[in-house]
Amino acid sequence: MIASQVMNRVATISANITLQHAAKIMSREGIGSLVLRKNGKAQGIVTERDIIKNIDRLYKKISTVMAKKLISVDLDAELEDIAQVMKKNKIKRVLIRGKRKKIVGIVTATDLIANADLLNEGLDLF
């Protein structure tokens, strides 16, 4: 199975919003991360963990706490490969690149677990 078969839409926002606003969006949409875009290009990612780590500073702009290193794979990446990327980088989310390297989706550790029966037997995810 490949990324395009299990990926979810990726929610994008402006880097100018506050952590509090980001938290409200995540809660309302039932998601754990937001990709920050500027001029149509992905600039970073903020996760629920980033918000928890900065819970006493919810007035801050998310651009000040976002992860700038975006880990991504192509639409046709195998789930086993995505699991290895997560393990290697100690992350729970991998962005999915479409044509022209544009971010088109996201695969989470939860998505991999939901499809664990399709992963190679004995693969150590984390």
Residue 122 clears pLDDT 80, i.e. is over it: no
Its domain, for residue 83, covers 3-118
Q: Is residue 101 part of a domain?
A: yes
In the structure, what pLDDT confidence band is assigned to residue 120 with cuts at 50, 70 and 90?
A: low
Q: Which two tokens stand for residue 6?
A: 């299990």
- 23: nearest Cα among 56, 1, 72: 56
Q: What is the pTM of this model?
A: 0.84
**69 is a domain residue:** yes
Q: Cβ neighbours of residue 78 under 8 Å, at least 6 residues apart?
A: 1, 2, 3
Q: What integer best gives the mean pLDDT of the chain?
A: 91
Kindly report the CATH number assigned to the domain that includes residue 15: 3.10.580.10
How many structural domains compose the chain? 1
* CA-to-CA dists, residue 72 to 3, 20, 106, angstroms: 11, 26, 9
Residue 58 lies in a domain: yes
Report the chain's C-alpha Rg in angstroms.
15
16 in a domain, yes or no? yes
67/119: higher pLDDT: 67
Tell me which residue has tokens 């928890």: 52
The string of pLDDT tens digits covering residues 31-79 is 999 999 988 889 999 999 999 999 999 999 999 999 999 999 999 999 9
